[in-house]
Amino acid sequence: MKKVIAMALCAVLLLCLFSACSGKESNTPTPPAETSPEILEDKTTVVGAEKQEDAKYQESITIICDNTQMAVLDPASPQGGGQGSLMNFNCIHDTLVENDNGTLIPCLALKWDVEDSQHYTLYLRDDIYFHNGEKFTADDVAFTIEHAKAAKGGQAFNRLSVVDTVEVIDDTTIKITLNRPNNDFLYYLYSPVCSILNREACEKDPEKGPWIGTGAWIVEKFVSNEYSELKVNENYWGEIPVTKKLRFIKVAEEATRYMMLMNGEADVAFGCSPADFDSIRSNPEFNLYTYVICNAGFVGFNMTDPLMQDINFRKAVACLLNRSDIIKGTRYGYGAAPTSGAFWGYTTPYKNEDLPLQDYDVELAKEYLEKSKYNGETVELCAWIPEFKTICQILQAELMNLGVKAEVFETDQAGFMAHCKFDDNKSQIVCTSGGWTGYPSSTAPFFTKGSTSNVASYVNPEITELLNTAVSTKDEAERERCYKEVQRLAYEDCVYVPVMHIQHGVGAAKNVGGVILTEENTHDLSHVFKIIS
């Protein structure tokens, strides 16, 4: 009898095994058609349902953030650059200016005078109050700049450290002098990390003071890297949101994000996996908004490594990048191949489209390799972002096909940054993604001595000079020339080779609207709503 049961169990197991091998169509999503990727129509795009008269709106909306940091609600903090934090800043705080598709428009600053790209005078609104009832004045702007400059290593520091002196003329006028001319300075101010804080609140309580803003939402509860609960600011100076409560939750797992969206636990989900894009898109109850943000995935070469200093070897590697396979293999086809060989943000101005993109060419790679100094040593490929670890593996296979021994070093962010530290760069080939913004000077960190973004430890005095000229000149043509020249020089040196621009996806219930997506991944959900009838 026991034998019979054992045999029956074995038969059931075998049947299960065979059923798994059936010819049934797999659930693996098919890559999108070979069309140009959906991008944001503009630098900022409002997506979702339209507001309707006499409509009823859902009181509370839950938004899922991706797995980046939502560690603090202090815009100046070095840990405040994650998507979740930035979305919170947009809701809680206001900035001095706003970006309306590349044009600066007033926000807390009504107007401004620019004397010579170094001296800026801002005229502020005098009818704004913080959540704690304090009136917004020029002194709060001065405090915000001081606070950002003190928080070294933060995104706000990176933008506001160019400020030399701040002079509060009166409650509504402030004069800012930069340490050198900078035409992009006002563009720095629209970033949510430059949100205006209240001096009194921050000095009274350094931990919770930065939660006090002038924005449309008031913080009710915040648990670092977990969730935030906001309630609407009924005294908001601008348009008061129709939604009464907002909740941002950080959900680590992509699968959980997807399922929370699908079963209605969340109304909007950022950071959806490309594997789920088709499923969300095909569901009539949901919308999927895909967009390519203004950054670039690239392969970089450590210019302090003897082998990587050989341009023939670098060019050989550049010839082995099969971008269409990489995009399919890492993002199910949801990515955009670079439009030119320029190492530049996807929509950053002054992109040099005249530089031809090196196509996948194994024969050419062989030629370059023969000319190179490669001598049979093992080459290391390093990455920390999951997609880029896969790119390393693809590149490793390509290199090994050509007889180059290659190994992949996978690590976490801190490990990666330590490995590729400018002064002590131990890497050889790195695959990672770099962030740009809508203003061209955001490219400078990739070429700046000591910068964390400069993973190639690459310094070209000519590029440094061109970048300095570009940011300080008022002559538009000269700026364009400088930036395009920077791209040409970097292209010729073949230090950073663009691979792809990642296409992100946001899933939202069909009747959700008011989601403002931005090219810099600093999405504004302060006026998000959900129509219930």
Partner 1 sequence: MIRYIIKRLLWLIPIIFCVAFIIYALIDLAPGTILDTISTENLSPEEYQQLVEQYDLDKPMIYRYAKYMLNLLRGDLGRGEATGLDVWREYTSRFPATLKLAIAGLIIGVALAIPLGIIAAKNAGTWVDNLVTGFTMIGISMPSFCLGLILIICFSYKINIFPAGGFDSGIRSMVLPAVASGLLMAGTTARQTRSSMLEVMRADYLRTARAKGVPEKRVIRKHALGNALIPIITSIGNTLAIMLAGSAVVESVFSWPGVGRLTVQAVNSRDATLTCGCVILTCIVFVVLLLIVDLLYALVDPRIKAQYTAKKRKGEKKHEKS
Interacting residues toward partner 1 by CB under 8 A: 5, 71-72, 74, 77-79, 81, 152-155, 157-158, 161-162, 206-207, 223-227, 247, 249-253, 255-256, 259-260, 262-265, 411-419, 421, 445, 448, 450-453
Whether residue 266 contacts residue 62, with contact meaning beta carbons closer than 8 Å, is answered with yes
Helix (H, G, I), strand (E, B) or coil at 266: coil
Q: How far is the CB of 521 from partner 1 (least distance, A)?
A: 15
- Which residue do the tokens 């709503």 mark? 529
Helix (H, G, I), strand (E, B) or coil at 326: helix
Which one, 128 or 249, has the nearer CB to partner 1? 249
Q: How far is the CB of 269 from partner 1 (least distance, A)?
A: 11
Within 10 A of 252 (CB to CB), how many other CB atoms are there?
A: 10
- Where does residue 128 fall: left (phi above 0), alpha (psi -120 to 50 degrees), or beta otherwise? beta
Whether residue 406 contacts residue 381, with contact meaning beta carbons closer than 8 Å, is answered with yes
Q: How far is the CB of 233 from partner 1 (least distance, A)?
A: 22
In angstroms, rounded to a whole number, what is the distance separating the alpha carbons of residues 53 and 262?
28
Q: Is the alpha carbon torsion for 85, 88, 92, 96 positive or negative? A: positive
Q: How far is the CB of 64 from partner 1 (least distance, A)?
A: 8
Whether residue 277 contacts residue 517, with contact meaning beta carbons closer than 8 Å, is answered with no
Within 10 A of 459 (CB to CB), how many other CB atoms are there?
A: 14
Q: How far is the CB of 445 from partner 1 (least distance, A)?
A: 4
Which one, 108 or 467, has the nearer CB to partner 1? 467
Q: Which residues pair with 165 in a beta bridge?
A: 177
Please give the C-alpha separations between residue 38 and each of 59, 287, 291, 295, 523, in angstroms, as whole numbers.
31, 14, 6, 15, 17
In angstroms, rounded to a whole number, what is the distance separating the alpha carbons of residues 394 and 398?
6
Q: Which residues pair with 109 in a beta bridge?
A: 124
- Token pair for residue 509? 């219930």
Which secondary-structure segment (H or E) carries 27? none
Q: How far is CA 427 from the centre of its chain?
A: 24
In angstroms, rounded to a whole number, what is the distance separating the alpha carbons of residues 46 and 40?
9
Q: How far is the CB of 41 from partner 1 (least distance, A)?
A: 30
Which one, 137 or 437, has the nearer CB to partner 1? 437
Within 10 A of 140 (CB to CB), how many other CB atoms are there?
A: 26
In angstroms, rounded to a whole number, what is the distance separating the alpha carbons of residues 122 and 106?
10
Q: How far is CA 83 from the centre of its chain?
A: 8
Q: How far is the CB of 50 from partner 1 (least distance, A)?
A: 29
Q: How far is the CB of 277 from partner 1 (least distance, A)?
A: 17
CA dihedral (312, 315, 321, 323) in degrees, to 10, reads -170
Q: How far is the CB of 4 from partner 1 (least distance, A)?
A: 11
Which one, 12 or 110, has the nearer CB to partner 1? 12
- Token pair for residue 256? 């959980």
* Helix ranges, 309-442 (H): 311-319, 323-331, 362-371, 386-401, 413-419
Q: How far is the CB of 227 from partner 1 (least distance, A)?
A: 7
For residue 148, which of 65, 77, 238, 46 has the smallest C-alpha distance?
77
Which one, 122 or 251, has the nearer CB to partner 1? 251
Which one, 265 or 361, has the nearer CB to partner 1? 265
Q: How far is CA 272 from the centre of its chain?
A: 15
Q: How far is the CB of 447 from partner 1 (least distance, A)?
A: 11
Backbone angles phi, psi at 113, to 5 degrees: -120, 135
Which one, 158 or 322, has the nearer CB to partner 1? 158
Helix (H, G, I), strand (E, B) or coil at 274: helix
Which one, 21 or 414, has the nearer CB to partner 1? 414
Q: How far is the CB of 76 from partner 1 (least distance, A)?
A: 11
- Which residue do the tokens 């400018």 mark? 422
Which one, 503 or 522, has the nearer CB to partner 1? 522
Which one, 223 or 240, has the nearer CB to partner 1? 223
Which one, 78 or 238, has the nearer CB to partner 1? 78
Q: How far is the CB of 10 from partner 1 (least distance, A)?
A: 14
Which one, 282 or 452, has the nearer CB to partner 1? 452
Which one, 219 or 399, has the nearer CB to partner 1? 219
